[in-house]
């Protein structure tokens, strides 16, 4: 899960997906990162923590980190939150196999529409909307 600073959207996506994985007893590895380095080492934004908590998800153990080219080897799929993140991650991809792993998160619910998960950083009310978008997108990863 990749967004800009790894403190709002991608930590929510990571937390939501990990929660769903635990509920299903699956053994998947999920992580999140940002294309930028500004918040490396920080906990998620308090508003992301609060909205996740409302849904019984604790993301306080997460720490922001910057996306690295090695992530292409570590993960089978890389979901980005918006088209800017998509461009930045694809710029780091050196192989077609790596580029093929990268997908906009909302392509899961709106295939081919190139929709972005809005960055709620400057809109306190946006965190609930973003949570619902990410929750719905994560649901599509399961075939039960």
**In whole angstroms, what is the distance from residue 104 CA to residue 45 CA?**
22
Q: Let me know if 9 is a catalytic residue.
A: yes
Q: Let me know if 119 is a catalytic residue.
A: yes
Maximal CA-CA distance, the chain? 40
Strands 2-3 and 33-34: parallel
Out of 8, 9, 82, 138, which one is annotated catalytic? Answer: 9
Out of 45, 71, 82, 119, which one is annotated catalytic? Answer: 119
Q: Let me know if 91 is a catalytic residue.
A: no
Q: Which two tokens stand for residue 43?
A: 């906990």
Q: Which two tokens stand for residue 99?
A: 């580029």
Q: Hey, which residues are catalytic here?
A: 3, 9, 119
């Amino acid at each position: 899960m990749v967004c800009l600073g790894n403190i709002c959207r991608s930590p929510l996506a990571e937390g939501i997906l990990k929660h769903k994985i635990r509920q299903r007893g699956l053994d998947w590895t999920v992580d999140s990162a940002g294309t930028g380095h500004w918040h490396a080492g920080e906990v998620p934004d308090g508003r992301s923590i609060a909205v996740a908590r409302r849904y019984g998800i604790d993301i306080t153990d997460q720490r922001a980190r910057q996306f690295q080219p090695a992530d292409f080897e570590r993960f089978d799929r890389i979901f980005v939150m918006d088209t800017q993140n998509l461009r930045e991650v694809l710029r780091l991809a050196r192989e077609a196999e790596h580029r093929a792993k990268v997908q906009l998160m909302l392509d899961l619910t709106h295939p081919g529409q190139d929709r972005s998960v809005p960055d709620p950083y400057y809109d306190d009310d946006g965190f609930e909307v973003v949570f619902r978008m990410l929750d719905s997108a994560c649901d599509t990863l399961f075939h039960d």
